[in-house]
Amino acid sequence: MEVRYLGFEQQQSARSYRFDVVEKGQPAKRFIVTADLSLFHTHGVGIQEGPALSASKLVADLESDFAGAHELTGEDLLSYVNARSLAEARRAEMRKAPRRRPSPAGERSPWRGSRA
């Protein structure tokens, strides 16, 4: 399945993101995912994330055979924010704890005047 982003339409405080979904040997199907823009502000998510988040939501809906209107919800944005925070915390932890190889006993460090 290939998802192609076609653009969006602004309707007051909401955006409708348009996508074509192409499956091998089938004609393209058009889908729209709507999003209330105030949710982006509420959850601290940049509006530029809208197309990617909407595409992910659409793929999840299609894989679960969801038949209703596709909408990016506050719950979707909260899940995204939580996943992003967890990933940032993991990266920060990796930076704090550098992995160093223990030097063999009795070897001097070339960078210091003392033993390693």
pTM of the model: 0.76
Q: Please state the rounded mean pLDDT for residues 28-45.
A: 96
Query: Residues 73-88: pLDDT tens digits?
Result: 999 999 999 999 999 8
- pLDDT at residue number 74: 95
Q: Could you read off the pLDDT of 45-71 as tens digits, one per residue? A: 999 999 999 999 999 999 999 988 999
> How far is 45 from 33, CA to CA, in rounded Å?
17
Dihedral, CA of residue 11, residue 12, residue 13 and residue 14, to nearest 10: 0
Task: Give the residue carrying structure tokens 């960078």.
Answer: 111
